[in-house]
A = this chain, B = another copy of it.
């Protein structure tokens, strides 16, 4: 590996001059610029980023901390972040936290030791203080850490309301909700959206919302019990698509026809919902856009470009597929 010294020698100039052409800053005579450029080519020289980082105290790396890349909601998000990182010449570090605060903290400090430039974080446990004392730019994704911290998410509350409304508009007489864990703010918001739509209905009873943990099997389990206890439920708004697939499976096992006897609507719009039979109707969020917006925000933040909105909230949109029976009231 050639170093800047080698290039300097080869070109018959000083390292300072080489550095200048490398970073195209400061004055440098056209002829010597050419000489240096040639030397670089000849030696096949590539600047050493580590040395650069040491001096600059920054690494051109960003980290994405998320619960588990294996959850089908996250790959698209990660892809979006990686794409903008790549475009802007940042290196993309992926961290799976399993929702454990301890792991998050480990990643945060371990990467800080590498002069990481910033983080995008999908977390329900991280606190404002922790982020603050980290002293590295952080943007919250999908889950908000604090209103005073840059974030990008979607309109969970409104989307939930719309979803429930859609079910009722299409004739559902008794709609239940399988929720995500309450400590996840978006799950909480979706549940509130549901509740605020049904609380006053004559048919509403307390047991109609049950926790599915944002996971497939627990949701299947939860739905099974729910449907056994309330056989007259004819619509379910499920907190996310992964769980909705579980609900679909539960209905199937119980011999309940979807959508004839039970309408189901999910939330998220992940690709998985397209592959089930029947295909899942869902409140879709623009996952890729959400991810790339977060990355843009972070990188602007890092590079000191002021952002107009530092709390960005995307709208959601229904995708009508096959799990809701169409029909008026």
Most B CB within 10 A of own CB, among A76, A83, A86, A94? A94
Tell me the minimal C-beta distance from A156 to chain B in angstroms: 23
Residues of A in contact, count (CB < 8 Å): 45
CA distance A69 to B321 in the complex (A): 25
- Please name the residue on chain B nearest to A56 by beta carbon: B50
Query: Once bound together, how far apart are the Cα atoms of A266 and B276, in whole Å?
Result: 16
A273's nearest neighbour on chain B, judged by CB, is B275
Q: Give this chain's copy count.
A: 2
Residue from A49, A79, A93, A276 having most chain B Cβ neighbours under 10 A: A49
Neighbouring B residues of A113 by C-beta, 8 Å: 46-50
Whole-angstrom CA separation of A245 from B279 in the bound complex: 12
Q: Which of B54, B75, B79, B272 contacts A54 (CB under 8 A)?
A: B54
Interface residue? A91 (CB, 8 A): yes
Interface string of A75-114 (1 = CB under 8 A from B): 1101100110010010111111000000000000111111
- CB of A68 within 8 Å of the partner chain: yes
Q: How far is the CA of A272 from the CA of B270 in the complex (A)?
A: 12
Assess A91 versus B114: contact at CB under 8 Å? Given A109-B46, A272-B275, A275-B275: yes
A320 at the interface (CB under 8 A from B): no
Q: Is the CB of B94 within 8 A of A78?
A: yes
Looking at the complex, which one of B51, B74, B93, B275 makes contact with A276 (CB distance below 8 Å)? B275
* A277 located at the interface, meaning its Cβ lies under 8 Å from any Cβ of chain B in the complex: yes
| A249, CB-defined interface residue at 8 Å | yes
Offer 7 A-B interface pairs, CB within 8 angstroms, sorted by A. A49-B114, A50-B115, A70-B75, A72-B72, A72-B75, A75-B75, A92-B93
